[in-house]
Amino acid sequence: MNIDTHSVMYITKRPELVFTEGQGSWLTDHQGKKYLDFLQGWAVNCLGHSNPGMIAALEKQARKIINPSPAFYNEPMIKLADLLTSNSCFDKVFFANSGAEANEGAIKLARKWGKLHKNGAYEIITFNHGFHGRTIATMSASGKDGWDTMYAPQVPGFPKAELNDIESVKKLINDKTVGVMLEPVQGEGGVIPSDHEFMRQLRQLTKEKNILLMVDEVQTGCGRTGKLFGHQLYNITPDIMTLGKGIGGGVPLAALLATDAVACFEPGDQGGTYNGNPLMTAVGCSVIEQLLAPGFLDEVIAKGAYLRELLLDISQEFGFEGERGEGLLRALKLNRDIGPEIVERARNLEPIGLLLNSPRPNLLRFMPALNISREELKKMAEMLKGILKEMQ
Ligand SMILES: *Cc1c(COP(=O)(O)O)cnc(C)c1O
pLDDT tens-place string over residues 354-368: 999 999 999 999 999
Does residue 299 belong to any structural domain of this protein?
no
This prediction has a pTM of 0.98
- Looking at residue 228, what is its pLDDT? 98
Would the pLDDT of 64 be above 80? Answer: yes
Which of 40, 132, 139, 367 for mutating ligand 1's site (highest number of atoms within 8 Å of CB)?
132
The whole domain housing 252 covers 52-291
In a domain, 323, yes or no: no
Ligand 1 binding pocket mutation candidate from 97, 183, 245 (most atoms within 8 A of CB) = 245
Q: Is residue 128 part of a domain?
A: yes
Q: Which atom of ligand 1 is nearest to the CA of 100?
A: 9
At 3 the pLDDT is: 82
Rounded alpha-carbon distances, angstroms, from residue 215 to 40, 263, 348 = 23, 15, 37
Distance 266 CA to ligand 1 centre (A): 26
Count the domains in the chain: 1
Radius of gyration of the chain (CA): 21
Mean pLDDT confidence for 189-209: 98
Residue 29 lies in a domain: no
CA distance 68 to 271: 15
HEC sequence for the chain: CCCCCCCCCCCCCCCCCCEEEEEECEEEECCCCEEEECCHHHHCCCCCECCHHHHHHHHHHHHHCCCCCCCCCCHHHHHHHHHHHHCCCCCEEEEECCHHHHHHHHHHHHHHHHHHHCCCCCEEEEECCCCCCCCHHHHHHCCCCCHHHHCCCCCCCCCEECCCCHHHHHCCCCCCEEEEEECCEECCCCCEECCHHHHHHHHHHHHHCCCEEEEECCCCCCCCCCCCCHHHHHCCCCCEEEECHHHHECECCEEEEECCCCCCCCCCCCCCCCCCCHHHHHHHHHHHHHHHCCCHHHHHHHHHHHHHHHHHHHHHHHCCCCEEEECCEEEEECCCCCHHHHHHHHHHCCCEEEECECCCCCEEEECCCCCCCHHHHHHHHHHHHHHHHHHC
In percent, the amount of the chain with pLDDT more than 90 equals 99
Give the closest residue to 103 by CA, choosing from 271, 277, 256: 256
pLDDT > 70: what percent of the chain? 99
The atom number, within ligand 1, closest to the CA of 254 reads 7
Q: Report whether pLDDT(2) > 90.
A: no
Angle formed by the axes of helices 52-64 and 278-292, nearest 10°: 150
Pocket test for ligand 1, best of 131, 144, 147, 214 (most atoms within 8 A of CB): 131
Residue range 218-237: mean pLDDT, rounded: 98
In a domain, 36, yes or no: no
pLDDT digits (tens, 9 = 90+) for 295-343: 999 999 999 999 999 999 999 999 999 999 999 999 999 999 999 999 9
308 vs 162, 201, 362, CA distance in Å?
26, 28, 18
Q: How far is the CA of 361 from the centre of ligand 1 (A)?
A: 20
331 C-alpha to ligand 1 centroid (Å): 18
Distance 219 CA to ligand 1 centre (A): 7
Q: How far is 77 from 74, CA to CA, in rounded Å?
A: 6
Give the ligand 1 atom nearest the CA of 183.
Answer: 13
What average pLDDT score do residues 159-179 get? 98
Strands of the sheet containing 212-216, edge to edge, are 92-96, 254-258, 240-243, 212-216, 177-182, 123-127, 160-161
Those residues whose C-beta lies under 8 Å from the C-beta of residue 76, and which sit 6 or more positions away, are: 61, 278, 281, 282, 284, 285
Task: Give the pLDDT confidence score for residue 1 in this predicted structure.
Answer: 59
Determine the distance separating the centroid of ligand 1 and the alpha carbon of 103, expressed in angstroms: 8
Please report whether residue 199 resides in a domain: yes
Residue 103 lies in a domain: yes
Q: What is the pLDDT of residues 101-154, one digit of tens each?
A: 999 999 999 999 999 999 999 999 999 999 999 999 999 999 999 999 999 999
We report the CATH number of the domain holding residue 158 as 3.40.640.10
Indicate whether 89 belongs to any domain: yes
pLDDT in tens, 231-262: 999 999 999 999 999 999 999 999 999 999 99
